[in-house]
Amino acid sequence: MNTKIAIASDDGISISSHFGRTKGFVIFEIVDKEIKGREYRLNTFTRHAKGIMDFKGDPHSVIISALSDCKVVISHGMGRRIYEDLKRAGIEVYITDETDVEHALELYLKGELVNRPERSCEPDKKSG
């Protein structure tokens, strides 16, 4: 089975602490639990990345569209709204304590990545 997994990362090595503010996403193409491809997608699509802090309307449609080819998204933290919106779009979401991209992927592929959805947070009025 062919699957793509997106991991939020500023440098391709460490997992970003905030999904919407990440500089990019490491996208792994997985076939039968083996890595068959890897790319780094710059984050040019989230409102945070564009410096837009107005969250009216549907602020997550662009990021969901940009990652629509991915079955799984992994981050170290994210807001509750994007967490729920990704799930509604049929994307598995993992909020993890892991900070290393490769290790988190390895744990996911083994079925051992711990998901910490309680780490999602409601945005505050200043930072979104």
> What is the mean pLDDT for each group of 10 consecutive residues in the chain (128 residues)?
93 92 95 95 70 56 89 94 93 96 97 88 46
- Matching residue, tokens 């992994």: 74
pLDDT for res 16: 94
pLDDT for res 58: 59
Three-state secondary structure call for residue 77: coil
8 Å CB contact between 101 and 13: yes
H helices of the chain, in order, are 47-50, 61-66, 80-88, 101-110
pLDDT for res 21: 85
Tokens representing 110?
A: 């083994």
Q: Of 64, 70, 69, 58, whose CA–CA distance to 88 is shortest?
A: 64
pTM for this model (two decimals): 0.85
pLDDT for res 25: 96
The full set of domains in the chain, from first to last, is 2-113 (3.30.420.130)
What is the H or E stretch that residue 95 is in? strand 92-95
Amino acid type, 116: R
pLDDT for res 121: 63
Q: Of 89, 88, 78, 7, whose CA–CA distance to 41 is shortest?
A: 7
8 Å CB contact between 113 and 94: yes
Rg (CA), the chain: 14
CA dist 77 and 56 (Å) reads 22
